[in-house]
Structure formats: C-alpha cells, structure tokens
Structure 1
Amino acid sequence: MSYEIVHEGAFAMLKVQMNPGETIKAEMGAMVSMSSSVDIKGTVDGGLLRGLGRMLSGEKFFFQELRASRGPAEVLLAPASIGDVQAVELDGTYSLLVQKDGFLACTEGIEVSTKMQNLMKGLFSGEGFFIVEISGRGTVFLSSYGAIYPIYVAPGEERIIDNAHLVAWPDYMDYKIEKASKGWLSSVTSGEALVCRFRGEGTVLIQSRNPGSFGQWIKSFIPDSK
C-alpha cells in the first residue's frame, strides 16, 4: 500500500494505492472515489461498546472498510471539514490521543477506541469526558480545520495551546487545563478563557483555525428571525 496527500492545506485529500487483498479503514462518509475493484462496507470495529464509546467522543458509530477485492485499486478519501490531512506512523509503543473529528483513516493494524478523561479535563477541555485513542502498528491519517502544524515540546519545557486548536498528541505527554491569564476577568476579556499546558518531551499537532470561532463568524451573517 502507498499513499499521497494531494492539495495539502485547506482542501487536502488522501489518495491510497492498494494491492490486491489490502484494506483501509476510514471515517464514515469519507470516500470520494474508488476503483471498481474495491468493496466497501460499514463496520462497527471492536463491537458495540467501542462503537458507543466513539459516539461519546463525538466520532461516528460506524467506519467504512474499503478492500481491494478484485485486483489493484485506488481510493480517494477526504474529511468533512475544510482543512489538512497528515499521516502519522505508529510503532505500537504509545497511543495517539485525537480531538473530535480528527480521525480520517488508518491502515490495518491500527485500533481506534476511546479513553475517559478525568473530571477537570472532561468538563473544560472542550472534548468532553471521552477522547479518541489510536494505537497499534501502522499509519493513521488525521484531519483538521485549517492547516496542521507540529509543535515540539523539548524535555523540561512547557507549551500552552488553545484547546480548540488541538488535533493530536502522544499519550505519554502530560497536560492540564488552566486559565489563560491569572484572573478569570483577564482570561475572558482576552478571548482565551481556557488553555492546555503541555509538558514533557513530545510533538503536539495543532490546527491553524478554530472551528468554534468560524461557526460564530458565520452566525454573525445570519439575520435574526422574528
């Protein structure tokens, strides 16, 4: 199997070349185009409980499973949002924690499940009490709103990131939710009420745009109905 990310940036799309018998798993509704040699079906992947867990994290209950059943095949996949696509290689030594709507597709050998956050993170992270956890060996393809940008946090350093701009981070990194400023008034009036403080060595993937802010911007053009 080989892949290429085309139109990187705001309107990225994933092109996958599959050998006979190979399978790729994708978010429900992600298929744009596929060869006639591909069979596609919906799958819960992991059973009912895992499917319900994904729903609680904001993801879909079902996945698409695309298999090159009758010879070599090409598949085009795209996320629902206007944004980027990035591949991350997992070697089985750690899990990747991913924000809502951040999962696009993965190769065989990858498991997509959910992880429960503690009370503080669940209430204030913007992701709820359940977050997507991706593990195993293989390639996972992430999607974002806007471009994806990596931020490396060196050993002993800390980095503050607006929680609405998070895409993914390794599970061995420590993070906590806190006010952007020392006082609540300063935090609220700055427009940055809550942020995530990351520490420990690792790379955090962020998105260049805030989906919530975009929604508010669109809403400002909609006249009030009376």
Structure 2
Amino acid sequence: MRSQIPAVILAGGLSSRMGGGDKGLLPLGDTTLLGHVIDRLRPQVGDMVLNANGDASRFDAYGLPVVADGIADYAGPLAGVLAGMDWAAERGATHIVSVAADTPFFPTDLVARLGQGRGDAVIALAASMDPKRGQVRQPTFGFWPVALRDDLRAALQDGLRKVVIWTSRHGAAEVLFDGYAMEPFFNVNTPEDLEQARAMAACAKAIK
C-alpha cells in the first residue's frame, strides 16, 4: 500500500568497517545495495531524498535529490533524519520516514505499519526480535514528525548523537516486525556481511 509520505534514505555514514566509501554503491545481484533499497521503498512512499555527504554527483544514476548533513563532523543518523525533515518541510510535509541505505531486505509494508503502529506516539521506530537480546530497536527505520526538527537540531548542536536518547524524550513507540524467513533489518557493515547479503538475495530470488 502506497502512501504520500516522503522518505529519506540515510547514506551519510563513514562506512569505516567496510574500509570507507559508499556502502550503498556496492554491488548486490543485478544492482547495488542502494538500488535494492530504492526499489523496496518506492512503492511505499511519495517523494524520496538521499542523505549523503560529499560530491552528490556520484549518485546521479539514481535520479534522486541529495541532501547533506546540516550538522558538521558526521553527527550520525539523527543528522540525516534532520536533513530529511528540513527537505520535507520545504514541501509542506508533516512527517517523514527514514530507512538505511545498507539494509536491502526491510519489509515491503514498513511505512504502513510504522504509521499504524505508532498509535498516539509522535515518533515510531521499527524493532525486530533477536534470539539473544530480545526485542531490538532499529533506529534508522523511523516515522518522524517534521514539527520536531528544531528540537532535534538543538539537541544535535548540544552534542547528542544517540537516536534512542532523543526519541525516548518524546515517547517514541516501537513497532515490532517479526515472523520473517530472513532477518528483515539485516544490514551490511563488513565485507563478510556483504557476502551474506548476496547469499540472502540469491535465496530470496530462488524462492520467488
């Protein structure tokens, strides 16, 4: 089910465990990690924007607008969320959804379920079940009100970096995504993760 809510794809990290560069541009099947993310997200949302730092032209092939962090020194995913909020505010949007550029198998009903599952909360974060840790937040997958962008900007300027600390201040809901054959929020941080993602993609293609 498609909504008109805009979305920001977070690709502004340093990719230090991958040796630097853009993880989203790494090949996965017949496209890239970012290509998978865009294909999965497009049917769920309205406009999309890519949050990335540096030369935006390296993403020209994807046909998306690119916005950089407005907070200096790689302030983490919240800086990308804020960049997305500012972009959405210019378009008159009241909310925005965020996803990560290195997580190619997130649910195809992510946006609808975040919107429905937040209840009366102003923010909703996705969560999944871990065999050892139990329910685990997925802080780069969220439903965010644009009205909180000035509050978020002030928090970042004060040095806050942890998503969970800021979202807890505003009573964020957790929406559990469970019962999948594969971990829906599996993300690629290392070369070994990339090999696993390729195996997962091949398996998913074979099942279809």
Question: Could you state the TM-score of these two structures normalised by the residue count of structure 1?
Answer: 0.30
Bigger radius of gyration among the two: 1
Greater per-residue helix proportion: 2
Q: Under a length normalisation based on structure 2, what TM-score does the superposition of the two structures give? A: 0.32
Between 1 and 2, higher relative CO (CA 8 Å, sep ≥ 6) is seen in 2
